[in-house]
Amino acid sequence: MINKKTVKHTEFNNFPLKNGQLYIANMAVEQAIAIIGQTPAYLYDRQLIQQRVASLRNMLPPGILLHYAMKANPMPAVVQHLAALVDGLDVASQGEMHTAINTGMLHSEISFAGPGKNNTELKAAIAAGIVINVESENELYRIEKIGKDLGITPNIAIRVNPDFELKASGMKMSGGPKQFGIDAEKLPDILTNIHNLTVNFEGFHIFSGSQNLKSEALIDAHNKTFALAHELVQYLKVDFRFINIGGGFGIPYFPGDEALDLQPVAENLQHLLDEYKSFSNKQIIIELGRYLVGEAGIYVSKIIDKKISRGLTYLVTDGGLHHHLSNSGNFGQVIRKNYPVRISTQKPITETELVSIVGPLCTPLDTLAAKMELPKAEIGDLVVILQSGAYGRTASPENFLGHPHVKELLL
Ligand SMILES: *Cc1c(COP(=O)(O)O)cnc(C)c1O
**Can you give the pLDDT at residue 22?**
98
Confidence bin at 177 (pLDDT 50/70/90): confident
pLDDT per residue as tens digits for the range 292-327: 999 999 999 999 999 999 999 999 999 999 999 999
Identify which of 338, 326, 323, 341 has the alpha carbon closest to the alpha carbon of residue 385. Answer: 341
Report, in angstroms and rounded to the nearest whole number, the Rg of the chain calculated over CA atoms.
Answer: 23
pLDDT per residue as tens digits for the range 54-93: 999 999 999 899 999 999 999 999 999 999 999 999 999 9
Residues in contact with 142: Cβ distance below 8 Å, sequence separation at least 6, in sequence order: 119, 122
- CB of 406 within 6 A of ligand 1: the answer is no
Segment holding 320, helix H or strand E: none
Q: Which spans in 196-336 are helix H?
A: 215-233, 262-275, 290-293, 325-328
pLDDT per residue as tens digits for the range 138-174: 999 999 999 999 999 999 999 999 988 777 666 666 6
**Measured distance CA(32)–CA(23) in Å, rounded:** 9
**Measured distance CA(158)–CA(156) in Å, rounded:** 7
Stretch among 9-23, 42-56, 146-160, 280-294 having the lowest mean pLDDT: 9-23
3-state helix, strand, coil in the chain (%, to 5): 35, 25, 40
**Measured distance CA(81)–CA(86) in Å, rounded:** 9
**Can you give the pLDDT at residue 171?**
62
Asked whether residue 2 carries a pLDDT value surpassing 70, the answer given is no
**Can you give the pLDDT at residue 4?**
45
Q: What separation in Å is there between the alpha carbon of 326 and the centre of ligand 1?
A: 15
Which parts of 48-122 are beta strand (E)? 64-69, 88-91, 110-112
**Measured distance CA(208)–CA(218) in Å, rounded:** 9
358-387: average pLDDT: 97
Candidates 3.40.50.2300, 1.10.260.40, 1.10.10.10, 3.20.20.10; correct CATH number of 74-288? 3.20.20.10
**Can you give the pLDDT at residue 166?**
72
Q: Which residues pair with 27 in a beta bridge?
A: 24
**Measured distance CA(331)–CA(333) in Å, rounded:** 6
Phi, psi of 355 (to 5 degrees): -135, 155
Which atom of ligand 1 is least distant from the CA of 133? 13
Q: What separation in Å is there between the alpha carbon of 114 and the centre of ligand 1?
A: 10
Around Cβ 83, how many Cβ atoms within 10 Å?
A: 22
Asked whether residue 43 carries a pLDDT value surpassing 80, the answer given is yes
Q: What separation in Å is there between the alpha carbon of 171 and the centre of ligand 1?
A: 10
Q: What separation in Å is there between the alpha carbon of 279 and the centre of ligand 1?
A: 23
Q: What percent of the chain has pLDDT over 70?
A: 96
Identify which of 1, 21, 123 has the alpha carbon closest to the alpha carbon of residue 375. Answer: 21
**Which protein residue's CA is at the shortest distance from atom 7 of ligand 1?**
210
**Which protein residue's CA is at the shortest distance from atom 5 of ligand 1?**
289
Helix (H, G, I), strand (E, B) or coil at 276: coil
8-17: average pLDDT: 87
pLDDT per residue as tens digits for the range 219-273: 999 999 999 999 999 999 999 999 999 999 999 999 889 999 999 999 999 999 9
**Measured distance CA(277)–CA(2) in Å, rounded:** 48
Phi, psi of 93 (to 5 degrees): -165, 170
Return the domain boundaries, the chain.
Answer: 17-45+295-410, 74-288
**Measured distance CA(60)–CA(87) in Å, rounded:** 14
Segment holding 83, helix H or strand E: helix 76-83
Asked whether residue 216 carries a pLDDT value surpassing 70, the answer given is yes
- CB of 287 within 6 A of ligand 1: the answer is yes
SS (H, E, C) 164-218: CCCCCCCEECCCCCCCCCEEHHHHHHHHHHHHHCCCEEEEEECCCEECECCHHHH
Candidates 3.30.360.10, 2.60.40.1730, 2.40.37.10, 2.70.98.20; correct CATH number of 17-45+295-410? 2.40.37.10
Which atom of ligand 1 is least distant from the CA of 247? 9
- Mean residue pLDDT of the chain comes to 95
> What predicted TM-score, i.e. pTM, was given to this entire model?
0.95
**Measured distance CA(392)–CA(28) in Å, rounded:** 21
**Measured distance CA(39)–CA(301) in Å, rounded:** 5
Contact 158, 187 (CB under 8 A): yes
